[in-house]
């Protein structure tokens, strides 16, 4: 039987990878995916039907380069969207 050493009490686990994985799962899309906003968002000025390219997924949300010429970090739980099918 293979024994593994128990971590020292002073060691802390790096949870960065787990947080990034959870963010990717929550986003439901991958970097490089074109998305379409499903409803208006008055705070950002985005409208249902606006399109953008996912440029990054972070624990704080999905960074989208919108076709309207700006980048915005959105929360996938608060701002619904769907991926645009590739042509």
Domain residue extents for the chain: 31-83
State the DSSP string of the chain: ----PPPPTT-----HHHHHHHHHHHH-S-TT-EEEE-S-BTTTTB-TT-EEEEEEEETTEEEEEETTS-EEEE-TTTS-EEEPPP-
CA distance 68 to 45: 11
Q: Is the pLDDT of residue 8 over 70?
A: no
CA distance 27 to 58: 9
pLDDT digit string, tens, across residues 19-76: 878 877 888 889 999 999 999 999 989 999 999 999 999 888 899 999 999 999 999 8
């Amino acid at each position: 039987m293979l024994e593994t050493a128990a971590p020292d009490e002073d060691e802390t686990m790096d949870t960065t990878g787990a947080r990034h994985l959870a963010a990717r799962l929550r986003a439901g899309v991958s970097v490089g995916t074109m998305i379409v906003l499903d409803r208006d968002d008055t705070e950002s000025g985005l409208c249902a039907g606006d399109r953008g390219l996912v440029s990054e997924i972070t624990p704080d949300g999905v960074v989208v380069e919108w076709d309207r010429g700006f980048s915005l970090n959105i929360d996938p739980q608060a701002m619904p969207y769907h991926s645009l099918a590739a042509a």
